[in-house]
Every structure is written in C-alpha cells, then in structure tokens.
Structure 1
Amino acid sequence: MQVRTRVLHRAWLVAGVAFVTLIGAAGFRAVPSVLIDPLHEEFGWSRATIAAAVSINLVLFGLFSPFAAALMDRVGMRRVVSGALVLVAAGSGLTVFMTESWQLLLCWGVLVGLGTGSMAMTFVATVTGRWFVRHRGLVSGILTAAGATGQLIFLPLVAALATAHGWRTPALVVAVAALAVVPLVLLMLRDYPADVGTTAYGASPDEPAAVTGPASGSSVARALRMLRDASRTSTFWLLAGGFAICGMSTNGLIGTHFVSAAHDHGMPPTTAASLLALIGVFDVAGTVLSGWLTDRIDPRALLGAYYTLRGLSLLILPSLLAPHTEPSTWVFIVFYGLDWIATVPPTVALCREQFGADGPVVFGWVFAAHQLGAALAATGAGAIRDSLGDYRLAFYLAGGLCVLAALFSISIRGRNIALTRST
C-alpha cells in the first residue's frame, strides 16, 4: 500500500520568513516607550523632544511604505527587506554614541524610520497578495500579529536591560537581532511563486497567473500615480481618515506613552512595560481572529465595531491607572489588546477589494496616514504631558476620535474601483 505524503506549500515558508522578519523589525519599535524617561534623565531633553524622534520614525515608517511596496515590485522583496533590516540595525546601534538631540532624530527617526517603513504592513499586503488566494485574511492577521509578537519578546527584555545596565544595552541588542534576520531573508524569501515553480496557495488551475516579473518604470512615479488615482475616490479618504485615527490611538499614544502615563500614577516602569507587552500577547490572538473573521464578515462592519470598542476603552483608561495593577486594569489590557491592530486585516481586504492589483500600494498610502496620525499623537501627547502634567486629555481626545473612525468605516460604499494603470 502506497502512503501519500503531503508536502507543505512553499507559500507557508515564505509567510514564516515574513513573520520572523516582522518580529525583528518590531524590536526597535518596542524601545522608545521604555527609554523616554532614561533619556530625559541622562540628557535633560524634554519628553516632547524625545517623542519628536519617535514621530519622525512614525512619519517615515508610514510615508516610505507605499514607495517600498512599489520598490518591491521593481527590485524584489528580498533585496528591499534585507536592506531595510540593515538600516534598522544601523539606526539602533548608532544611538549609543549620540550626545546631541539631533543625533537622536537622525538615528531613531530617519534611519530606523526608513528601515521599518520598508517592512511595514505593505510587506504583509504584498506577501499575501502574491502568495495566497485561499486564507488571505487569516495570513494577513498572522503576519500583522508579528509586530505584537516582537513587542512581546523585546519589551520586557528592553525594560529589564535598561533598568539593570542602562539604555545603551537594549539598543545594541535590537541592532544585533535585526542583523540576525538578514541571512534568513536572503536564503529563504522569494518574490513570486513562479520563482520556485509553483502557484499561489489556493489558486485554481484556470485562474490567471500573478505578475511574475519586475514592474516597469520608476517605483516613485508608480507610487505617486497610485496616490493620485486613489485620492479621487471617497473610499480612499474614508480608509485613510479612519486609519490615521487608528495610528493616533495605538502606536502614537499607547505604544509611546503608556509606560510614562502609568509611571505618573506610581507604577514601576518594568511593571508598566510588562502590561504593554501583555497587550501584545492578546493582540496576537485578536489580530489572528480578525483575519479569520475578515474572510467571513463584511470588513466595514468589523472596522466599525473595532473602533467603537477601542474608543470606549480609552475613555475609561485614566480612571484605571494606579500604582498597582487592579482587576479593572487587567480587563483593559485584555480588551484593548484584542483590539490593538485587529483593524489591519479588514483594511487590507478593503484596499484589495476596492483597488484590485494596486491594493498593496494604495494600502501603503492608507498606512502612511496611519503613521502620520501616530506621529501627531506621539508629539501631541508629549506636549500635553509637559503642559498639563498628565495624559488625561490625550486619552479623552483619542477615545472620541475612535468613534469618528467607526463612522468613517461604515460609510464606505461600492466595490471594485479600478485605477488607471499606465506602463
């Protein structure tokens, strides 16, 4: 009797490499929220100045994302991602030599911003769009959760190392971790299924083959052309507006300032960092579940629910912070964690549904709005803290804006908006 063996489809290996890569990229993004106070104490820089470096990082992380998506079409994912990891390592490692605030802006802001921007959520959209037909939503959720997993791995380690050895040690650890992923990317990541003689996972034999070669023309020109065409639709602005608020209420506010806000209420930084890492734990489950739901439920309805629930949780957060973790604090961590970046899979799905093959590049611009919102919140919340002495107003503003994002999401109409593509 012949035993039939089942071979794992190459798409899952590519997704696995992408997952590990995104974990490495997430490592540095876990550092700023823990090191705001140590940098303030050593250099005397204001929290607004330190947060400005984070804002530059977030802006470049978002603005470079659509160009990176077009560049991946031009020169390939493997080259773009490996180069991006080197930039992240350089930016993180060089911070140990800085003595002036402009060096913080250059290393933390520019170098790491460009590096992480090349491996942003558009990388997720590119991998799922090229390698998967079946389970696209689920894989989008899993890869998106890689960022939370990176936060989970690095955040408690960064906090412990910074407390025991100073802030320079975790900066070097992040640099080494980013470099360690480069050989894996060069050896295992491939750009298209045709490169290894296969098809996308779940593709039917009579389905048209995906693009298997580099795009012609300038990557910059193509990215800008996609922005021009997409910006003529109301769908783009509704998606971008909602995602900007998403960035404000996650990376910009909680991701950057939660540790400091909790410390203001007497909570030790290591405890607050551990709570932020737990948000990452529950985010993994929430984002994977969101991907699964996106394959089955209208993504507009999902986004409306996610933003509404997040807004309510932020409105009550100021009353929950205390020197010690209370049961109500744990409820917030679980609830908010499940919702942290659950918005990504349905947003990716809507970009693909509305803009077709150009969806990853359009999503890059939507994600740019996300990071602009995050940058505004990172700097704004720091200024509110410097001016008023606490973060209460920042939490209330973010909660109210989330309700507005829910209204944007449920207002999206129509399907399959085609963009004009020129060669």
Structure 2
Amino acid sequence: MIPRYKIAALISIVTLTLAGCAESARENATGKAVIRAVNAIVDAPAVVFKIEERSLGSLEFGDVTPIQNYDDLAYNFNYDITDIGATSSRRLASQFLDVVADTNYLFVLSGSISNPQITLWTDDERQWEGTETVFEMGFMHLASNLGALDVYFAAPGTAPTAGAAVGTLVNGERLDPAEYAAGNYVVTLTEANDPQAIVYQSPSRTLAGASTDSILIFDHNPTRNSDVHVRHLTQAGTAADLVDARVSPTGQFLHAAPAIGNVDIAENDDFASLLLADQPFGNLSGEITLSAGTNDYTWTDAGNMGAILVESEEVIAADYKRTLVLAGPAADHTILNVQSIRRPFSTSARLNIINAADNAETVDIYFLPDGDSIADFTPISSGIPFTFSTGMTPVIAGDYEITITVAGSQTVLAGPLDISLANRDVVEVYVMDTADPNAMSLMVNRVNP
C-alpha cells in the first residue's frame, strides 16, 4: 500500500497576509515551472486565481486552471472574489512562493469563503520520452464533508477487497503519483476499512502511457446525483468529470401548456412503464430517474397512448438533473430542456427566471426590491423571447418583487410576485401562459439542496 502524504502547505488567510515580503534567492531565472490552481469550495461563487495581479483564470467549484509555465522567481499567488454589487474584487487568500524550476505546483483553495485555506502540492516534473507503456496516477482528497476513504484503482470488474486498496485518504491528504501499466482502469472509493461500503465508482477509462495524472476527489455537487464529485486531471492540462457509473440522471417534468389537458409521458416508447401519468397543467413533478444519453420522450393525452401530442429527442447527461417543460400553443408544442442547477452560494442567493410563455413574442423582466415601482426602473432583462432565460444569477439576500411586462412597455403580464431570498437559496421561476392570451403566471421552484 502506498503511504499517505500530508499536505505540503496549509495556510490560513490570517497568516497569508504576512508572507508577501520575501524575495527570490535568484536574481535571474534559470528555468520554468508548471503552475495550476483549483477551487475546492463547494458553495463558493467563481474566484479568480492570479500571479501577482495578472489573472490566470476564473474558477467555479471543481475547475482547474490551464497549465501556465513561469520562470523560477518569487511571486505572490492570489485568489480574488468579486462580491455582488461591488465594482472591484477583493483578496480572498494569498501565498508567496519562491518557484523552483522543473516543478509542478498545484494551488488548492479549500475551507470556506469566510475561512479560506490554500493547500500547495508539489511534484518534480517527470520528463517522459513518449514511448513508455506506464503512466503515473496520484489521488487527492479535497472533500471536506467526507470522512476517510479507501482508494481502489484496478481493471474493470475488479471488486474491492480488504488489503487491495492503493491507499487511504482523509480530507487534505493525497497519494503521491505511482506507476501503473497502460490500460483500462476503474476508480472505486469506499469507506475506510469497509470494501463493501462503496461511495463512488467511475466508468472504465482507458489510460495511455507517458503521463503523470491525478484524480481529484471533491465534495458532493448538488447539481449532480452522485455523492462525490470526481475529476481526472491530466499532465497535458485537461480536466474531465468522472461520473459515478452506478448513478442515473434524474429529471422533473413541468406542464406549462394551458391549451393541453392532462398528459402521460414516456421515455423511448416505453408506454408500459410511464415516467409520469395524468399530469395536469401547472404541475411540476418530483424527480424521476431517466436514462443517460439521447432519448425520445413522448407526451400523449392522459390514458391514450395513441393520441400523441409531441415527440422530442433530448440529450440527458449522465449524473445531472434536468427539467423538461411542455410549453407553447396547442398547435405548436415546444419542449424546453433546462439544466437544473442546484449548487448554492454561501454569499448570496441564486435565481433563474425561465420564459416558458408563448402568449407574448418577447417580455421584459423586472426584479426590484419589495415596494419599488417598475415605473421608476428599467428591467433587469429586456426582450426575452419564449424558451430563453436570465440564467442562474447571484442575488443579494432580501425581499423582492418579480414583474413580467410586454417587451418595451410597462403593460403587466404577470406579477408583481413577492419573493424572499436568503444566502444559499437556489430558485427557479417559470413564466407560464394562461388561458387568457393577455396574461401570464409565475411558478416558483425552490431547488435548495
């Protein structure tokens, strides 16, 4: 078993601010090193990683910056964040580093926005000839909400057994890269000392030789269905999601077409096992297990599978949550395929307003503090057509009103709708048609994890 390795550096924001005064021991560069960074705070908005004041990339949770090569001199590396409504960013965390040539550096932002930490992992840069039939793989535990994990890395079909793990990790630890023969591998994570308690299992992945890669283990992303968020980071600089092969995607179905009666919904013509039966207008279903891949979905009159209303081919990504919305007039039904984002921000609410109404060609959306009049303000989004949305947007916690008007005018179609938002709230608001062609309705879906 490969031994566990403690983190190279774990530094709180308090001490970080004291460390930026040192200078490099070298006056001139003698070589270059690889610099990368990752954001491992699950409830953080996007942060920006910088070398001094130059941005090296914006990072959502789980993102990794592209490979950057820098001279072996001394630098301050910084994570910045821009608060909602602020005109400039603020410093979240910093670390001084005297860079050593031919070294790989990975800066990991973890902890929380209120108490951020930087972990710095380093490796000597291995020079591959390109003809090797082996590769190296390391494993990093970045999941603050998970306990100790046993890591198995073996050929497909190999069940985890006692003593076969390549190592055991707790949050903030890693297994240094070790050599493996090129081939097909599956990553399996179990609770420590219990091979039967599988927490995560990847699909089979073909790994070629001549590369030093890493498996990054993150906290559960509420937008996904798996309990663990896992990514494969390659020496070439790419980062790929590794879904849990045991977990299916899920979806909700919203009936937003008032001209249509109750409906049945089937996946891939399986009318014997309907996904949903007798759904009325205005109803949003619970989460339903779907098949990953490209599927055919059919809406029919309730109880009559021969009365097909609409057929739609939809791509359902493995492990994700979707919402499929039946909308539009009776003669021209439309299906909206909405990715249901569930990951909260600790610093704000998140709000997405989706236009599933066809009664007006385009609409304006007003989002105002409670009590303010639309006569005194401009809309937050103008000319939004049917099937479009504002996108999931961070919002300062507070009490608000949502009003929908005809585009370019203040003729009210829906609202004002009172809505109270707190930090960590994640809310979808659907604009829907009504039987009255001059009116719309608003449906609130709070998707807080």
* Greater relative CO, 1 or 2 (CA 8 Å, sep 6+): 1
Q: Same fold (TM over 0.5)?
A: no
Q: Which has more radius of gyration? A: 2
TM-score (norm 1): 0.21
Q: Which has the higher strand share?
A: 2
Query: Which structure carries more helix by proportion?
Result: 1
| TM-score, length-scaled by structure 2 | 0.20
